[in-house]
Amino acid sequence: MQKQHLNVLVLSACQATLQITGVTMVVVTGLAGYALASDKSLATVPLTCYVIGSAITTIPASLLMNSIGRRAGFQVGTVTGTLGAALCSLAMHSASFWLLCAGMMVMGVYTAFGKYYRFAAADAATSDFKAKAISLTLAGGIVGGIIGPEIAKRTNGVFESQPYLGPYLSLIAVCAVATLLLTRLDIPRLAAHERENSGRPLGEIMAQPVFVVAALASMLSYGIMNLFMTSTPLAMRAHDHHFNDAAFVLQWHVIGMYGPSFFTGALIHRFGVLNIILTGTVLLLACIIAALNGTTLVNFWLAMFLLGVGWNFMYVGGSALLTEVHTPAERAKTQAANDFLVFLTMAISSMSSGVLLNKSGWHAVNYGSIPFLVLAACATLWLMWHRRSGRSPA
């Protein structure tokens, strides 16, 4: 097996553990926050802390990996995830809302490292394999989509007086498995002269239209997806759906997120990255239409599945497009800037989610997403027009 293929296999397996952790937290944390918070409008604050922890770690994580290498950096992340899961478990045992927020912030640090799995796969791939390396790495998330909700359901009732303690305890073992998997990763560090010479100023890189569109595709797809994922368990609870129904819906959502990754790279190669991003915006609009059409289990299921597929096309497309704008020496700061913007958007959407749902209802969450989808579509069409006309967009 070629080294680049082995790396993709390892990183895909690590993506699976990352997604098991992420889905389990999404299924449980909104409900755990609701149970612990005295003010129920604060129910999504722990998830917001999770996103904030990711946002503030994104840049330091990238710079650390640029210095000590991908494998060591990723293992720093998984060990941190073990600590975060332990803190969340302690929070549920002691019924402490603010300790849960602290534990979720530490889990966010772990996630910030893990979000670079896709870029690590591209770093070690040949130019014609980069898009496929990114999409196949993300494909590992489908395992998390299947296993994560099952873990949440099966461990939720282990401690009768503390219903959400079991899922958080299970995440300690998941992070430990990821630490072991990473011992098989083999990505060479940058040469000394590449680490010393960081290339163009970051502002110049970010001013490139291709960077703008790539970042918007990743930011807005993740922001809208996070807005829905954070509020869906609470919205389903408000409409008298069972906990297991919410787990089922999120399970299919994650399948929608990562299932297409087995062929998204090939679609990008055939139809072009901008066409795939634009298709993603159309699918997200279809998600909103399905959600606005009713609050039955079928509506939630269809909306969240379409949300997952639309996210995949936009996020994989944005990640692949980003590889066009930087040299190897510039990749750490470029990837860090991109993912910082992604997590900043997620933090805003997490904070907005609980307020919108609590104050204005499920429809407000849906309508609030539409302007951002229009922005992403317009930016993509703008770059497509300039590329087809042979102009250099400014």
Tell me the per-residue pLDDT of 5-28, one tens digit each, with 9 for 90 and over. 899 999 999 999 998 998 888 778
**191 occurs within a structural domain:** no
Minimum mean pLDDT range among 122-131, 192-201, 225-234, 329-338: 192-201
Residue 306 belongs to a domain:
yes
CA distance 75 to 182: 7
Most confident by average pLDDT, 126-135, 232-241, 281-290, 357-366: 281-290
Half-sphere exposure (CA, 13 Å, Cβ side) for 66? Answer: 22
241, part of any domain: yes
Q: What whole-number distance in Å separates Cα of residue 250 and Cα of residue 231?
A: 11
Is residue 194 one of the residues assigned to a domain? no
CATH number for the domain spanning 112: value is 1.20.1250.20
Q: Helix H segments across the chain?
A: 3-36, 45-68, 70-94, 97-114, 117-123, 130-139, 141-155, 165-181, 192-196, 202-206, 209-238, 243-258, 261-271, 273-292, 297-322, 331-360, 362-367, 370-389
Question: DSSP string spanning 91-117?
Answer: HHHHT-HHHHHHHHHHHHHHHHHHTTH
**Predicted confidence (pLDDT) at residue 110 exceeds the cutoff of 90:** yes
Name the pTM for this structure: 0.78
Indicate whether 239 pLDDT > 90: no
Q: What is the domain count for the chain?
A: 1
List the domain range (segments joined by +) for residue 101.
Answer: 3-185+200-389
Residue % of the chain over a pLDDT of 90: 47
- Residue 134, in any domain of the structure: yes
Is 190 within a domain? no
195, part of any domain: no
Query: How confident is the model at residue 101, as a pLDDT?
Result: 94
